[in-house]
Amino acid sequence: MARFDQLVFSGVQPTGNLHLGNYLGAIRNFVELQKSYDCIYCVVDLHAITQSVDVWGGPAELTRATREVAAAYIACGIDPKKQIIFNQSRVPEHAELAWVFNCVARIGWLNRMTQFKEKAGKDRENASIGLYDYPVLMAADILVYRATHVPVGDDQKQHLELSRDIAQKFNNDFAQDIARLGHGEGYFPLPEPLIQGPATRVMSLRDGSKKMSKSDPSDYSRINLSDEADAIAQKVRKAKTDPEPLPSEVEGLAGRPEADNLVGIFAALDGVARPDVLKRFGGGQFSTFKNALVDLAVARLGPIGAEMKRLQTDAAYIDAVLKDGAERARARATRVMDEVKDIVGFLR
Ligand code: AQP
């Protein structure tokens, strides 16, 4: 296998309300990783339009949400000068490589993707081809930079495995050509998922069996990064719990998904482990714990929300960051795409 420079790539869809799950499962880790890696963080607008237009909200909403995700990246601490922040549709090589990968990936692989089944629901015949093909475009997003590490929430694990399968099959299918062109034994790295922290799957505040999600119709199911302190307090206080007090040991959270979720959120926001939270609050009333969680969430998220709002009043700045990032991203992506064309045999 060829040696690859370590590079982090990840993305967030501009589809509505960025929430605590996106922050704890993904964006917070993006910020941490920039200390040790070169990073490319994308606002994946091509993915956003895979659902029906009433889900992503139409052109004006897509533009607003694209700027909001970029503002969140910067407000959370990603440095747009050192790292690359851009929106996906500005770098056409993502879609171009996705086509090549469409011809590498197998229908049977895509048929196993659980996210498609969840998002398409019962009306599968009516889902867009883009939604079905989403994981192939995601593989292209990562591999068009030959990225080696991908920080994501737990829900993206299966898609990452598919990216690895696609990279492996491309390397096998074109092994002779890859070697002939001097790329060693494999052209694409097998990207590694980085699923980190105590909150890799934050659940809905209304239903501990459902993932916290931007598209949940109930705003009480999630804490948005843009929520004011009052809204955060109301949502945490109304969050579903059960009648038992918090246990003192982690084992006592088994079969109590809502309690487990709130403890996980507290641990992640406070930078401690679940047992530390239970040591402090175990045996006590939920209301005491919830009040402490409100204070913690407001202290951690308040400054991010305020900075996002400030940045969003300066659309020209955000647009300049995205444009500059896209130019730097594209310079890398065209190099890879040219090599892919040579490997596959496309004249250029
Ligand atoms: N509940 C979650 N807990 C932990 N991580 C999460 N992520 C999403 N939800 C949770 C992670 O956030 C990153 C960006 O997600 P996305 O915008 O690309 O799409 P998604 O996973 O489909 O997010 P949503 O919020 O659930 O949107 P909808 O409602 O449109 O489906 C990813 O790394 C994801 O793992």
What's phi and psi for 12, nearest 5 deg?
A: -135, 140
The pLDDT tens digits for 116-153 are: 999 999 889 999 999 999 999 999 999 999 999 999 99
Ordered by start, the domain boundaries in the chain are: 7-200+315-344, 219-310
Please name the residue whose Cα sits nearest to atom 23 of ligand 1.
213
AA identity, residue 82: K
- Residue to substitute in 10, 18, 22, 51 for testing ligand 1 pocket (most ligand atoms within 8 angstroms of CB): 22
- What confidence tens digit (pLDDT) does each residue in 261-297 have? 999 999 999 999 999 999 999 998 889 999 999 999 9
| The 3-state secondary structure of 160-192, one letter per residue | HHHHHHHHHHHHHHCHHHHHHCCCCCCCCCCCE
Q: Which CATH topology does 219-310 take?
A: Tyrosyl-Transfer RNA Synthetase (1.10.240)
Decide if 211 is catalytic: yes
Helices and strands in the chain, H and E counts: 16, 5
Choice among 117, 122, 210, 214 that is catalytic = 214
Q: What's the pLDDT at 1?
A: 46
pLDDT at 215: 84
- Pocket-forming residues, ligand 1, beta carbon under 6 Å: 12-13, 15, 21-22, 25-26, 152-153, 155-156, 200-202, 211-215
Q: Give the distance (Å) from ligand 1 centre to CA of residue 180.
A: 40
Percent of the chain topping pLDDT 70 = 99
Any long-range contacts for 60-63 (C-beta under 8 Å, 24+ apart)? 61/16, 62/14
Superfamily of domain 7-200+315-344: HUPs (3.40.50.620)
Q: In a mutational test of the pocket of ligand 1, which residue from 155, 260, 262 has the highest number of ligand atoms less than 8 Å from its CB?
A: 155
Q: Is 101 in contact with 135 (CB distance < 8 Å)?
A: no
- The pLDDT confidence band at residue 198, using thresholds 50, 70 and 90, is confident
Q: Name the pTM for this structure.
A: 0.96
Whose Cα sits closest to atom 27 in ligand 1?
214
Ligand 1: distance of its center to the CA of 26 in Å?
8
Question: Tokens for 264?
Answer: 């996980």
Token digits for 118?
């969840």
185-197 b/e (C-beta count within 10 Å ≥ 16 → b): ebbbbbbebbbbb
Binning pLDDT at 50, 70 and 90, where does residue 16 land?
confident
SS3 298: helix
